[in-house]
């Protein structure tokens, strides 16, 4: 079998992005006994860049442990985490539709940052990077926000939107990494994987 990596993420978009650069991968997902969501809690007034790098490191620690516990064949393990922030405020995944409306009202007509951290471990070696991008939403009416939230797309997504989905109709400008905003910055990811000897 040719080289492959483990992707410790439930995001179908991250899997598609790895396919895009020709990286064979298998999913290494948290079981019900692991409290994966608790890893994403914010500590006090933590800076967004520090937060996203720390959470990604914790996810990778848990994934490496999972690999050992399950006795799976050795291969590099990749984790990523994306956070949306307005100033220093971290806008996580909405709790429900009302929360999604609240978040989108804040983003409408504003520029915000999207930070995606990637970390890969192979044996004892660990490499990581953080991609920073900027997204500007056009002003949105209450009816537009409500209609978008009704699609269900904002739920489960940092910042209550998916750049590759219907939110694109409201995004005026993007600076940085489109794939990073989707959840896996391909330039940085490929560089990290190559540094560990994985072909992209």
Q: Given this model, what pLDDT does residue 2 score?
A: 64
Catalytic residue among 3, 81, 89, 99: 81
Q: Which helix (H) or strand (E) holds 13?
A: helix 12-20
pLDDT digits (tens, 9 = 90+) for 69-91: 999 999 999 999 999 999 999 99
Asked whether residue 1 carries a pLDDT value surpassing 50, the answer given is: no
Expressed in angstroms, the distance from the first to the final Cα of the chain is 16
Q: Is residue 52 over pLDDT 70? A: yes
Annotated active-site residue 61? The verdict is no
| Beta carbons of 155 and 192 less than 8 angstroms apart | no
Q: What is the pLDDT of residue 39?
A: 79
Domain boundaries, the chain: 5-195
CATH topology of domain 5-195: Maf protein (3.90.950)
| Average pLDDT rounded to a whole number, residues 15-39 | 88
Percent of the chain clearing pLDDT 90 (strictly above): 88
């Amino acid at each position: 079998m040719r080289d492959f990596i483990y992707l410790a993420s439930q995001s179908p978009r991250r899997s598609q992005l790895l396919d895009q650069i020709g990286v064979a991968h298998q999913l290494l997902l948290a079981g019900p006994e692991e409290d994966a969501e608790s890893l994403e809690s914010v500590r006090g007034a933590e800076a967004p860049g520090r937060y996203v790098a720390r959470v990604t490191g914790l996810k990778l620690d848990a994934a490496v442990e999972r690999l050992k516990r399950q006795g799976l064949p050795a291969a590099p393990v990749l984790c990523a985490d994306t956070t949306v922030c307005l100033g220093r405020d971290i806008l996580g995944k909405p709790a429900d539709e009302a929360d999604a409306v609240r978040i989108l009202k804040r983003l409408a007509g504003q520029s915000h940052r999207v930070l995606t951290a990637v970390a890969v471990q192979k044996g004892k070696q660990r490499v990581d990077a953080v991609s920073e991008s900027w997204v500007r939403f056009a002003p949105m009416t209450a009816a537009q926000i409500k209609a978008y939230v009704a699609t269900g797309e904002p739920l489960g997504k940092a910042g209550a939107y998916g750049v590759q989905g219907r939110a694109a109709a409201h995004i005026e400008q993007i600076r940085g990494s489109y794939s990073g905003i989707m959840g896996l910055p391909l330039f940085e990811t490929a560089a990290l994987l190559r540094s560990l000897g994985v072909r992209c």
